[in-house]
Amino acid sequence: MKITKLETMFVKPRWLFLKMHTDEGIVGLGEPILEGRSQTVASAVQEIGRFIIGMDPRDVEHNWQAVHRWQFYRGGPILASALSGIEQAMWDIVGKWLGQPVYRLLGGPTRKKVRLYKHCRLQVIDERVPDARSIVEQGFTAIKAGLRGPLRQIDSLAKVQEFERRFAALRATVGPEVDIAVDFHGVASPAMSIRLAKAIEPYYPMFIEEPVLPGNVDELARVARSTSIPIATGERLFTRWGFREVIQKQAAAVLQPDLSHAGGILEVKKIAAMAECYYASIAPHCPLGPISLAACLQLDACIPNFLIQEFVTLGDGYLKQPFEAVDGHIAVPTGPGLGIEIDDDALAEQVYDGSWEHTPSLHEDGSVADF
């Protein structure tokens, strides 16, 4: 079997889908997206295609290593994202060729269903958060809210108290049985993250995500040691080499590799194995499309240290059979490969030329936002 063509499609709202064609008629799906850089990643996919077309897609490890090593500049958000989508498509082909879901080829399932968390707007009305109440009523047992900027390097007591008030209202709304994660987005300085964490510690957050921007693992470790709240990070790290220092220094209890950025399914499985040695959990990052989610579910199904899965779509309007969330969980898929089929008729209405992209946001003072 040989790869004959790599076809990329820009899909609304801001996604990039990949179809990998073979000479035996099997088509593999991948999502090689980087938010705000889909045109750049699409170009990288085609550049890699000049090397990978003609290769056997069943040789996933060999092809991954060949592409990774062939590129003099390794890793990084663009190259790793392009390779991630290509790797997902190869696994989809292998699974379809064998008639097995990908997780069975990676050791088999360790669970029957995958727990999800849903994003929540932290808007307080009468000391309650209506969006959170609605999410819980839908059956979800975990939510995530975000810390919005801007924040000064050392900000006021009033800012800390306001954040605590909002988080307290969120906890009061959902009660003690529902887990609450909070995403700092790298908005706060390490010093402010320590103060904010102390303020919300009594309300038992599930984890704090990105309290420190990538680039200084020692500062991340300092924040982690200052609080009992588990620290999470990883959406802006690429390949196992990007996670090595975070894991070794035990700077995070929860790692959040993105299967469309960090190197693909097998690469993230290797990251999960590294994390397992340090008793760290995996909560894959996925504010992306349904192909990326499908890849995540294959990984979630077969690792022992899975914690929870992020999502923004279940595939309605994109997949012939969208995923179904029941009591905040998705049943482990049983179909071959990634276990999904694209609805080409519905997708035709979503395809565009890639001209619309995310633009950098500005704070009120004119400074560029940190996320």
Angstrom distance (rounded) from CA 209 to CA 224 = 11
Angstrom distance (rounded) from CA 149 to CA 189 = 11
Paired sense of beta strands 351-352 and 142-146, if any: unpaired
Q: What is the pLDDT of residue 362?
A: 52
Whether pLDDT at 364 is above 80: no
Angstrom distance (rounded) from CA 129 to CA 162 = 14
**Which residues are the active-site residues?**
185, 285
Angstrom distance (rounded) from CA 40 to CA 58 = 27
Angstrom distance (rounded) from CA 342 to CA 42 = 19
Task: For residue 360, list its beta bridge partners.
Answer: none
The closest of 342, 337, 339 to 57, measured between CA atoms, is 337
Q: What is the pLDDT of residue 20?
A: 98
Angstrom distance (rounded) from CA 20 to CA 82 = 13
The stretch 265-283 carries a mean pLDDT of: 98
For residue 332, the 8-state DSSP code is P
C-alpha distance from residue 366 to each of 147, 155, 362, 370 (Å): 19, 18, 6, 12
The pLDDT tens digits of the residues spanning 31-48 come to: 999 999 999 999 999 999
Q: What is the pLDDT of residue 72?
A: 83
Residue in the structure block whose two tokens are 């307290």: 168
Ranges of beta strands (E only) in the chain are 3-11, 15-22, 27-30, 113-119, 142-146, 179-183, 207-209, 231-233, 254-255, 281-282, 309-310, 329-331, 351-352
Q: What is the pLDDT of residue 356?
A: 65
Contact 8, 40 (CB under 8 A): no
Contact 95, 105 (CB under 8 A): yes
pLDDT confidence band for 73 (50 / 70 / 90): confident
pLDDT confidence band for 149 (50 / 70 / 90): confident
Q: What is the 3-state secondary structure (H, E, C) of 25-37?
A: CCEEEECCCCCCC
Q: What is the pLDDT of residue 359?
A: 56
Could you state, in order of their start, the residue ranges of all structural domains in the chain? 3-99, 103-352
The closest of 240, 180, 235 to 208, measured between CA atoms, is 180
Q: What is the pLDDT of residue 371?
A: 39
Q: Looking at this protein, which amino acid is placed at residue 89? A: A
Mean pLDDT computed over every residue of the chain: 94
Q: Tell me if the bond preceding 150 is cis, omega within 30° of 0.
A: yes
The pLDDT tens digits of the residues spanning 5-30 come to: 999 999 999 999 999 999 999 999 99
Q: What is the pLDDT of residue 91?
A: 98
Percent of the chain with pLDDT over 90: 89
Q: Looking at this protein, which amino acid is placed at residue 1? A: M
The pLDDT tens digits of the residues spanning 173-221 come to: 999 999 999 999 999 999 999 999 999 999 999 999 999 999 999 999 9
The CATH code of the domain at 3-99 is 3.30.390.10
Lowest mean pLDDT among 66-75, 115-124, 304-313: 66-75
Q: Phi/psi zone of residue 25: left (φ > 0), alpha (ψ -120 to 50 degrees), beta?
A: left
Residue in the structure block whose two tokens are 């990326």: 292
Angstrom distance (rounded) from CA 141 to CA 205 = 13
Q: What is the pLDDT of residue 367?
A: 46
The closest of 193, 183, 200 to 219, measured between CA atoms, is 193
For residue 278, the Cα-to-chain-centroid distance in whole angstroms is: 21
At the top level of CATH, the class of 103-352 is alpha beta
